[in-house]
């Protein structure tokens, strides 16, 4: 918890632990300034140089950060070894893929990066693979014993589809900011279903991503990498297989090729590890955003951080919805109301 987010913690600093190192850094960094204030400029040396003072300060801070990072890495490795294998896997994945966007981004209602306390707690549970507090004993959708794993996988009640749609909404919003509202279409039917044949529907089509004026269709797949069926696979291979074996890809690619539309599968785990194709798309998205006036003065890493934070928050929010949301199906009884308004009954 007290480790930095990039080293597997939650970035909550303990001042009593840091005070000794911070004092030493401060003493080192300000030694020239303190000596000048106490004794004045040296008679046989150069006068006080504010640039030298700044360089000393920066070097002291750099040294402390390096030492803190080393200590955090060691502490993380020690803690990791004490976890059971299934939890070790989830925590290790969080570090490898740097999925702490929702932990470190500043909550801002305008950017939709604010989480409720429950959403925050649930995602901590997903990050460290433990059961969230106050969970029901049984699923209200299918009646199976309830667990984090079940909550993230149970398709009853449409929560898994809503999770998928929440992330698609953010992808559409970001794409519209980059390529313009008119270049983005959501839930596009590429091929109408016919008798005995399934149609082809894409989550999003954006014009101009890889080539000018050329449409690219995107299909999103959110998967739980900790599901029991994936226990023996690495996250990279899960995402790779999803992108490939999502039989849609081959089929869609062919259909899209026929219609001169590119196809890109965007695969992501519930805790925010994106596949190779998705990362390529984000690079393109950030490059395009930086050509807009609102982002022109921001660096590539700043804009990428913002994009990833928005997606990370959308995933966090929707994962919590799967954990806390109701799956019970509501029946609507007309109850004889003359205006046709229904009444919800359990
Ligand atoms: Zn269920």
C-alpha of residue 113 to centroid of ligand 1, in Å: 29
C-alpha of residue 165 to centroid of ligand 1, in Å: 19
Tens of pLDDT, residue by residue over 241-270, are 888 766 565 566 666 667 778 888 899 998
Q: What is the pLDDT of residue 1?
A: 66
Q: How far is CA 54 from CA 22, 30, 42, 278, in A?
A: 17, 9, 19, 41
Cβ neighbours of residue 310 closer than 8 Å, sequence gap 6 or more: 111, 112, 113, 170, 174
Q: How far apart are CA 330 and CA 87, in angstroms?
A: 36
pTM: 0.78
> Near ion ligand 1, which residues have CB within 5 Å?
139, 141-142, 144, 154, 156
Q: What is the mean pLDDT of the chain?
A: 84
C-alpha of residue 321 to centroid of ligand 1, in Å: 14
The domain ranges of the chain are 5-82, 148-324
In 61-79, which positions are buried (b, 16+ CB within 10 angstroms) versus exposed (e)? eeebeeebeeebeeebeee
Tens of pLDDT, residue by residue over 221-241, are 999 888 888 888 888 888 888
C-alpha of residue 272 to centroid of ligand 1, in Å: 23
C-alpha of residue 157 to centroid of ligand 1, in Å: 8
C-alpha of residue 154 to centroid of ligand 1, in Å: 5
Q: Find out whether 13 and 5 touch, Cβ atoms under 8 Å.
A: no
Identify the band that residue 285 occupies on the pLDDT scale cut at 50, 70 and 90.
Answer: very high
Q: Find out whether 37 and 53 touch, Cβ atoms under 8 Å.
A: no
| Among 339, 344, 313, 280, residue whose Cα is nearest residue 120 | 313
C-alpha of residue 221 to centroid of ligand 1, in Å: 20
User: In the predicted model, what is the mean pLDDT of residues 181-201?
Assistant: 81
């Amino acid at each position: 918890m007290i480790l930095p987010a990039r080293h597997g913690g939650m970035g909550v600093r303990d001042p009593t632990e840091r005070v000794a190192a911070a004092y030493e850094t401060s003493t080192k960094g300000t030694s020239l300034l303190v000596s000048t204030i106490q004794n004045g400029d040296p008679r046989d040396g150069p006068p006080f140089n504010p640039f030298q003072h700044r360089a000393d300060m920066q070097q002291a801070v750099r040294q402390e950060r390096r030492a803190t990072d080393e200590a955090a890495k060691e502490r993380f490795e020690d803690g990791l070894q004490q976890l059971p294998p299934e939890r070790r896997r989830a925590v290790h994945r969080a570090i490898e893929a740097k999925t702490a966007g929702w932990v470190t981004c500043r909550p801002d209602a305008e950017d939709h990066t604010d989480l409720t306390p429950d959403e925050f707690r649930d995602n901590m549970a997903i990050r460290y693979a433990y059961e969230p507090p106050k969970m029901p004993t049984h699923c209200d959708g299918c009646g199976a014993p309830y667990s984090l794993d079940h909550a993230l996988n149970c398709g009853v009640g449409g929560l898994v589809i809503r999770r998928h749609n929440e992330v698609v909404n953010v992808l559409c919003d970001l794409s519209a900011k980059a390529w313009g509202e008119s270049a983005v279409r959501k839930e596009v039917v590429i091929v109408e279903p016919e008798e005995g044949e399934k149609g082809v529907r894409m989550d999003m089509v954006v014009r101009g991503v890889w080539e000018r004026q050329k449409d690219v269709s995107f299909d999103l797949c959110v998967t739980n990498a900790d599901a029991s069926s994936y226990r023996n696979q690495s996250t990279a291979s899960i995402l790779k297989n999803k992108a490939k074996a999502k039989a849609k890809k081959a089929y869609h690619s062919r259909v899209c090729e026929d219609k001169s539309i590119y196809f890109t599968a965007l695969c992501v785990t519930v805790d925010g590890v994106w596949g190779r194709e998705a990362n390529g798309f984000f690079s393109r998205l950030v490059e395009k955003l930086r050509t807009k006036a609102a982002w022109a003065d921001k660096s590539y890493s700043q804009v990428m951080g913002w994009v990833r934070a928005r997606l990370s928050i959308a995933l966090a929010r929707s994962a919590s919805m799967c954990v806390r949301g109701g799956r019970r199906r509501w029946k609507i009884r007309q109850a004889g109301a003359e205006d046709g308004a229904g009444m919800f009954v359990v």
